Amino acid sequence: MGNYFQPEIETASREEILAIQNEKIVKQVKHVYENVKYYRDLMDEKGVKPEDIKGVEDIHKLPFLSKADLREAYPYGLLGTDLKNCVRIQSTSGTTGKRVVAFYTQHDVDLWEECCARAIVAAGGSKEDVVQVSYGYGLFTGGAGLHGGSHKVGCLTLPMSSGNTERQIQFMMDLQATILCCTPSYAAYLGESLADKGCKPQDNCLKAGIFGAEPWTEEMRRSIEKSLGIKAYDIYGLTEVSGPGVAFECEAQSGMHINEDHFYAEVIDPDTGEVLPEGSKGELVFTSLDKEGFPLLRYRTRDICILTREKCACGRTHVKMTKPMGRSDDMMIIRGVNVFPSQIEAVLLKEGYTPNYQIEVDRINNSDTFEIKVEMAPEQFSDIVSINQAKEKKLEQAMRTMLGIGPKVRLVPPKTIARSEGKAVRVIDHRKLHD
Ligand code: ADP
Ligand code: ZN
């Protein structure tokens, strides 16, 4: 069944995977303890010795690492090998604060690119394909990861980077790109720009898209699939663990397979740190089993998801994670209610609006204000105030039902909300800006 980039590992039995993980973790913990003082101190503080870790079933004994640790240890404090053995530095996007940097040896770059190659093949990619990489190139891992993966598969790689939408479209059409890789928000923008030029979805040669690096809803997936005439696949990753390709979707599209031969995943209760059983929703924690440059153990991602080992129709055996619908720190607490931007996106697309919106939160006279600006598509646009007001009321009601609290909805004319070429900025929280 299906195509795999590395069939022997992607479809290995659970016992085989476990054996690989057990062998790697014992070596990795010993290596980290000997080479990374920052983590050795944390282990000593907790009274854990490398000999206590005999397999992945002992991982829960190890201390956690958080983004705060990475910032404290910046830049070299968590290096796992001599700097002269490293060949690459990448950095996080800084979505939630100061950027952190990660180091890669050639071995680390290779395993990362292989993970991206698995994702491309899972999306139907082969040597026959032209892969347009429209993730940003540079310090951001999106461009480099998919670029390397595309090479490994042997696809013809179009290293577009993000931005310059006119040129993206020209090359997409002229060079007959078949697979598009970018953030979902940029894919939506490319779809919109093609339509503006009078191009129909069937006019391009694209068959698939590999989209990730930010949360996106099933509604957004359907909207992109329609506008570009493709099948859209999710891909997940983070710089601290390597980059995109930590997990990826197969044709079954019922969660993303985590590349478990390299990254061991746990889900924990974010408040107590307790490991939760399979099927529970919690914070995803990764242990890098064989990276050399930046070998993080038990790194808390702040991404909230569920893990499942249910058999997958694609034949892959690796554990699957659900789409993280935002990280714990994307969650807004408005008038005491937890709100994720993804819930708002789902309502908007269900109600027939575009995915162009912006959420603004403030605190005035000790009370939270909550406003959502929603862009109308040209055919929805009306300058009759009463028509717009009725639509706003309807959306406010739908939001209240979904969220449990009512925002103020303001419909704005077409093309008035800035488009994103990378990760979209959905929330402006003035309360945080005042702090
Ligand atoms: P930053 O944390 O500064 O944004 P990265 O560029 O390394 O740095 O982004 C990694 C984060 O992006 C992940 O922790 C996750 O929150 C988000 N992310 C990546 N891929 C996805 C995806 N497919 N769905 C939802 N969120 C994603
Ligand atoms: Zn699968």
**CATH code at position 353:** 3.30.300.30
Residue 95 has a pLDDT of 73
Same domain, 341 and 315: no
- Count of domains in the chain? 2
Confidence band (pLDDT; 50, 70, 90) for 112?
very high
Same domain, 298 and 351: no
Smallest-distance ligand from the CA of 311: 2
Same domain, 294 and 413: no
The amino acid sitting at 376 is M
pLDDT at 174 over 80: yes
Q: Tell how far the Cα of 260 is from the centroid of ligand 1, in angstroms.
A: 18
Ligand 1 atom 13, closest CA: 238
* Distance separating alpha carbons of residues 354 and 345, to the nearest angstrom: 9
* 233 assigned to some structural domain: yes
Smallest-distance ligand from the CA of 249: 2
pLDDT in tens, 336-349: 999 999 999 999 99
Same domain, 299 and 398: no
pLDDT in tens, 366-418: 899 999 999 999 999 998 999 999 999 999 999 999 999 999 999 999 999 99
Q: Tell how far the Cα of 234 is from the centroid of ligand 2, in angstroms.
A: 12
pLDDT at 435 over 60: no
* 140 assigned to some structural domain: yes
* 304 assigned to some structural domain: yes
**Domain stop point among 329, 362, 392:** 329
Ligand 1 first shell, C-beta below 6 A: 92-96, 141, 212-215, 234-239, 301, 303, 323-324, 327
pLDDT in tens, 263-305: 999 999 999 999 999 999 999 999 999 999 999 999 999 999 9
Share of the chain above pLDDT 90, in %: 93
Same domain, 354 and 304: no
Print burial letters for 236-274: b (CB count within 10 Å at least 16), e (below 16).
Answer: bbbbbbbbbbbbbbbbeeebbbbbbbbbbbbbbebeeee
Residue 433 has a pLDDT of 64
Contacts of residue 206, defined as CB under 8 A and 6 or more positions apart, other chains included, come to 172, 177, 178, 179, 180, 228, 229, 230
Ligand 1 atom 8, closest CA: 92
Residue 8 has a pLDDT of 97
The mean predicted confidence, pLDDT, of the chain is 95
* 399 assigned to some structural domain: yes
Same domain, 262 and 400: no
Contacts of residue 25, defined as CB under 8 A and 6 or more positions apart, other chains included, come to 53, 55, 56, 58, 59, 264, 287, 289
Same domain, 34 and 163: yes
Same domain, 386 and 340: yes
Same domain, 368 and 269: no
pLDDT in tens, 51-97: 999 999 999 999 999 999 999 999 999 999 999 999 999 998 877 77
* 435 assigned to some structural domain: no
**Domain stop point among 305, 329, 353:** 329
* 232 assigned to some structural domain: yes
Q: Tell how far the Cα of 141 is from the centroid of ligand 1, in angstroms.
A: 10
Q: Please give the number of the atom of ligand 1 that sits closest to the Cα of 212.
A: 23
Residue 371 has a pLDDT of 97
Smallest-distance ligand from the CA of 250: 2
**Domain stop point among 278, 294, 329:** 329
Is the N-terminal amide bond of 159 cis, ω within 30° of 0? no
Q: Tell how far the Cα of 117 is from the centroid of ligand 2, in angstroms.
A: 15
* 208 assigned to some structural domain: yes
Q: Tell how far the Cα of 313 is from the centroid of ligand 2, in angstroms.
A: 6
Residues with CB under 5 A from ligand 2 (ion): 250, 252, 312, 314, 316
Same domain, 352 and 324: no
CB atoms within 10 A of CB 370: 20
pLDDT in tens, 226-250: 999 999 999 999 999 999 999 999 9
Same domain, 290 and 337: no
Residue 316 has a pLDDT of 98
Q: Does 97 or 187 have the greater pLDDT score?
A: 187
**CATH code at position 75:** 3.40.50.12780
- Beta strands at 156-159 and 179-182: parallel, antiparallel or unpaired: unpaired
pLDDT at 2 over 90: no
* 268 assigned to some structural domain: yes
Same domain, 212 and 352: no
Q: From residue 329, how far is each of 116, 301, 303, 333, 361 by CA, in Å?
A: 27, 10, 9, 10, 15
Domain residue limits at 75: 1-329
- Beta strands at 179-182 and 208-212: parallel, antiparallel or unpaired: parallel
Print burial letters for 84-96: b (CB count within 10 Å at least 16), e (below 16).
Answer: ebbeeebebbeee
Ligand 1 atom 12, closest CA: 213
Smallest-distance ligand from the CA of 123: 2
